[in-house]
Structure 1
């Protein structure tokens, strides 16, 4: 080997320079890479490089792969982790038997590829994905790898890399952290699949479990949905007799991401490269909190972040150490209370829990169906719980747990579909449960009772709300007359007499009981929570008919009360348009103020637009589609709805998106019914700073032009991907000022979101910017109507009028605005709505 290596080094050096000088992506058996002359392999797209490096402050040399175009040499794979080379003598080559080897001092082997097959005409190639492969040069199928680095990961998981097992060969693809930034040898932290009846990802610290993902539910890992909660990826999980693996593929091919295991921080971390900032941005870190730590609360303990203490006992259990249930005693867990009788099966029932990380140590019977599963668990005294094994492909098996339930956790940050969560059935005393059939029967009875009572109320003489709109004396505050302080009215259906074509017609809005809403949202559980705005949380729910809904529960501490609730309920119930959110009902029991809407899975526009990662998903076609939908919704509100509506709080967070990214205007709590084409004044100024027109913010005067101003701000944000408030550049105090600066200097195209690339035609983009600046002009009379805006979108830029100086663009901060306002507090930050009542 020594003689062969020496001869090869001397005879091939000149050839090496010619072959690799153009950043070659491969070498053959007659070529090599030498540390002494700094040669490297570079993938064809220039994304990755392979060569020699020294980590941190170390002088040792390693062969590795790193990002070629990112400063700082971020290494993603290391060959000789266990055997560093102390000097620059390293050489990577293909030996005479067709194997890939790394030679060090005195031509000793520092590392070799564990290839089971030799190659006649071997070629070593660095692929676009960062995968180093050894294959036959003339193989018609280039994916017939004899060896690949993706099968032997270091501390980094890249898109396209399988994490898991090849059961045919016994190969395990597992991440192991670097021991330190100076030492890439394997540390004590590892991450990979634990093989048992129900494979799951496990992080180990030494030989001890440190964190577990929970089993795959058919849609995501039961206790760690965050792993897949990144819209940049498509994730794939495979578990069969040949393979068990988890893999990701990039949706946005230009995005650069990596998942890395960090020994010093004891974390699994996901990063994305932000080219504009020249830095790595962390998207995910696990464990995210103490509840992710393995078995923190001991047997039968349930860890719930946000509770005090975080360790709680599962229903039907009590702390084992009753006198000292504190962090030092949590590991002891919980015990049954009362103890179950094994002989009397009639006193046993199984209680359904949704949103739990599935416990550890399960037993799977694939041939047992769901009903048999329950019977088997019932007939075995040691069986504590059971579930259906595979919800993605129908009922296909049974999983059971025996003895204590280990490592349970409420998946509080699980934003996935709660209907996709595994329902865990835990053995309980029958006296503490209600038969599920009886529950459904009682729910049907309650629905019938509610309908009967509602009919009686409708035909009774209870107060029926109505709105009389008179042009002569209409004021902005004159809303629908509806006495929510009347308890009888609260228990009735919300009705509204409609006037049209000389006839009265009643509109009815379904009223939900508090108990039904609680059941719908899994008792307002954290796992069902979609988000939280200025007025309270929003939960995801499932009605008895299977329809998914969004439940807005107004906080008692919020500024929104009966006035806003009745306004939103009555207005939305009367508005029917594809670009307006649908209100399905409300609940006003127990002093609760709850609205039930259609569920829109893609959340709100700001969720994508202002996120450094997600905003790349909404391309130019999607943005123009959203803009078109918003203007159509506003056109309906201003001109075509039976009651002319001024929204007064149009902003990115109030634009919801359905599964096809169709926009729907939401949140009508601040809206006003408007009569006439002029303007109205109010002492009650509401809205969001950055979106409010100047005449409204400073004088309380609003009109349809107030919404046009808000739309202009929103249009600039959609085009640029930046918030109006909090944006500072040049002498501008906000995005409006920056856009105006660019417009005056004929550099408007610089406003475009860089993520859009060359997609938007320049003339179209200029038209959109022109229209946006027309909408945010200081004087309301200068602004177009929303119907004018729609017609402008179809005109050439040269035919559009030139905008005048916009409002709120320079030099007037909150302090200056305050002198013109009744109170400085009436404005809010960009993501919070305010509602301030002023004395008349």
Structure 2
């Protein structure tokens, strides 16, 4: 949530009384009710009173969003009344005076200027300079950017000035209504061999969250990576060690802020369309973001911990689904004997740099040799990923605060030392997996040969294919050669990749016929596998509906498992309803306006999704539960017609089957029905719940996961329910719909959405009833009951957990903690 989440309401006395200029001269002053405004009307400086506080402060805020205060001068010395004045002192300092002319804040200039002036720049920087000299911008006598509060603006630096020793870091407010320095600070930790970014709880001197080290491109494990809007920048030279970011799309404003609970957020707003801030990233956002959650020598994955291969829990009795802090120890200690080697772990957040050495000139091969020579070396990795990798980091002792990522560009590769016997065990397990795959492949090949077809996939020709042990029915599918798909996707290049999920990456491809396709390739490291592949092939091949994505064929060649779909021009629904996702969507100029879907377009999409789901539940030959219905799985064609996709987790239900139960809970936080997330129970009503979440997200333009009410901590569902109960349901509607909405349709859709997300499955309507209620205005709708997760933030962890975006479906875990994305 944006800053408004924490400040509730800022009483700014300056409305309508701004000074004409952005400059304060030596004979001028600012009192309550007067402000400076930057030249392009972006930032405003003046006195404000936060929330219900009786104290006032001098601060800077966005003019279009006065509640978003980005800098506070007198944090430690609030004004008890409204008599504060900002002016120049007799020695040229900018000062804030109280009612008795006492100085409560001063710029403390290093020298006395002849003719000082203060100017509020469009960057949000308040600068002081000597107007009698021809000094450049780099010669400011003083600037607010050197003294951050809790917010990092574009162009503002955090870090250490090596010449002066001045340090810049963020310090949270004490509470929503108290800007005085709070209990959390964040900034660069440059005391180690490589800098990394940390959030620290000051009173106990403990790390709450950390990124990995700077790897030459970004901080390892930090999703604040270069994108269409922002680009992070790190400087380390003889004069400074600093971090900053720049906004390269002038259509947006972006800030990084540390709130009073210790949560670090990167916020974004489209300056031409909305005054509402959205969270691009939030740290910590899940269990794995919290420092050292899994203890020593263990790796965290979204919501669970496991010991690194070759290690076991130190205290098995204490190693539970909610407490992993005891960590892990080696199963077989290393003894520097011949034959010891390294286990390669890809895409991880590297361990904390507690006991490490760094050699920036070594290659990775040299690093391996050096680590093997030193019996105390526990692991090694490259220190810089540029140019194919260079530099050598070696860890000694325990490995702390590791996690694995699904996103390929977040983590790095770590090599952990193991004994020869443990390496043999790992290799044997790998060989066993290869044998299993080979056996399955033989079954597949046997099935192909049994009907007299060619051994390998042939494009444009249909073959009867028998997959795995499925023997009930042969499925007609066009089969494609791997070579043809390699050519179509430019050898599965990163430039052609249009998405990624738990199954694997998805590429845009162009066949020799000129047809565009989406190529979904099973990743070798995927936690999903043949079951999901078979599931998708069997289901989609037998399901035909205009609102379901079309499967064009598949390829099974060697270890490859590839699905080929019709290509959806407009990607997924995400890019049209969530502003954060629109950041990385690049429409042509004449499509720019279509990104803000009108209400009629959104309504048509809602109806299309409902019809697709109705077909799955009632009208197809099979009764299918999708189990992963969400915005990113709703694809849009060139005419913005919705198509439900990704059937890897779907289940077929018998006609008389009402409910099933599983220990393998798979899905996405924010869309999971409560009974499925916590008890493993699923039914048609599980999809109904997800559909209700979709409805409310489409109407509001906000994610359910990651949204929390400013004062009551309700999620999007709870907030919508309270507004509906207070006859204020339309307040949840996306601001961009105000000029196009149909009041009756919106209100009915909100109410149907609330009926679908009711806590108990028996209270939710069937899909046939839901679509009837949406389309038939004569139907009298029942009153919805309290929704699921009413007082929760869509995570089993209460410490600020929320979404960083729509990440990937994970594999099965225990019932105690449902695994989400």
Tell me the TM-score normalised to structure 2 length: 0.59
Corresponding residue for 2:255?
258
Larger Rg: 1
SS across alignment from 2:277: strand
Query: 3-state SS of the aligned residue for 2:464?
Result: coil
1:202 to 192, 198, 202: 198
More relative contact order, 1 or 2 (CA 8 Å, 6+ apart): 2
- SS of the equivalent of 1:106 reads coil
Q: Which residue of 2 aligns with 1:349?
A: 341
Aligned mates of 2:567, 2:167 — CA distance in 1: 40
Partner of 1:149: 144
Q: Is contact 1:318–1:336 with CA below 8 Å preserved after alignment?
A: yes
The Cα of 1:125 is off from its aligned counterpart by: 0.5
Aligned to 1:821: none
Structure 1 residue 258 displacement after superposition = 2.8
Tell me: CA distance 1:599–1:300, structure 2 relative to 1, closer, same or farther (3 Å).
farther
Residue matched to 2:74: 80
Alpha-carbon spacing, 1:604–1:246, altered in 2? closer, same or farther (3 Å) = farther
In structure 1, what is the Cα distance between the partners aligned to 2:465 and 2:593?
A: 36
Equivalent of 2:378 in 361, 364, 384: 384
Check conservation: 2:443, 2:468, Cα contact below 8 A.
no
Please list every run of 5 or more consecutive structure 1 residues that lacks an aligned counterpart in the other structure: 1-16, 468-478, 498-505, 513-519, 522-527, 542-547, 569-579, 628-649, 655-669, 671-681, 690-706, 716-722, 730-751, 758-810, 818-830, 832-840
Asked if 1:46 corresponds to 2:27, the answer is no
* Contact 1:222/1:358 (8 A) holds in 2: yes
Residues 1:623 and 1:197: Cα distance change in structure 2 (over 3 Å) = farther
Contact kept in structure 2, 1:465 and 1:496, CA below 8 Å? no
State whether structure 2 residue 536 is matched by structure 1 residue 560. Answer: yes
Q: Partners of 2:498 and 2:587 in 1: how far apart?
A: 31
Aligned: 1:433 with 2:423: yes
| CA distance in 1 between partners of 2:333 and 2:60 (Å) | 58
- Partner residue of 1:484? 465
Unaligned runs of 5+ in 2: 1-13, 486-491, 508-517, 523-528, 545-549, 595-603, 609-614, 627-634, 643-693, 701-733, 740-770, 778-805, 807-821
Q: Deviations over 1:376-414 (max 9, x none)?
A: 2111111111111111245442111101101112234xx
Whether the aligned pair in 1 keeps the contact of 2:339 and 2:420 (CA below 8 Å) is: yes
CA-based RMSD = 5.8
Residues 460 and 319 of structure 1: CA distance in aligned 2, closer, same or farther (over 3 Å): closer
Whether 2:296 is the aligned partner of 1:299: answer yes
Instruction: Name 1:167's counterpart in structure 2.
Output: 162
SS at match of 1:374: helix
Contact 2:126 2:143 in 1 (8 A): yes
Q: Which residue of 1 aligns with 2:218?
A: 220
1:240 matched to 2:230: no
Task: Check if 1:61 corresponds to 2:61.
Answer: no
Superposed CA deviations along residues 499-519 of structure 1, whole A, max 9, x for unmatched, are xxxxxxx9744699xxxxxxx
1:586 to 556, 567, 571: 556
Contact 1:511 1:585 in 2 (8 A): no
1:765-816 deviation digits (Å, cap 9, x = unpaired) = xxxxxxxxxxxxxxxxxxxxxxxxxxxxxxxxxxxxxxxxxxxxxx976777
| 2:811 alignment partner in structure 1 | none
Residue 624 of structure 1 and its aligned partner are, at CA, apart by: 4.7
1:541-690 superposed matches below 5 A: 550-552=520-522, 556=532, 560-562=536-538, 564=540, 585-586=555-556, 594-595=561-562, 604-615=571-582, 621-622=588-589, 624=591
Aligned to 2:359: 365
Which residue of 2 is the match for residue 25 of structure 1?
22
Answer yes or no: is the 8 Å Cα contact 1:43–1:127 preserved in 2.
Answer: yes
Aligned length: 590
CA distance in structure 2 between the aligned counterparts of 1:460 and 1:134, rounded to whole angstroms: 84
Structure 2 counterparts to residues 723-802 of structure 1, below 5 A:
none
Q: Match for 2:267 among 251, 267, 271?
A: 271
Alignment partners' CA distance in 2, 1:296 and 1:440: 28
Classify 1:369/1:242 alpha carbon distance in 2 versus 1 (closer, same or farther; 3 Å): farther
Residue 108, structure 1, aligned to residue 102, structure 2? yes
The 3-state SS of whatever aligns with 1:214 is strand
Q: Take 1:440 and 1:327, find their aligned partners in 2: how far apart are those partners?
A: 27
> Any conservation in 2 of the 1:25–1:41 contact (CA below 8 Å)?
yes
C-alpha spacing 1:480/1:686, structure 2 compared with 1 (3 Å): farther
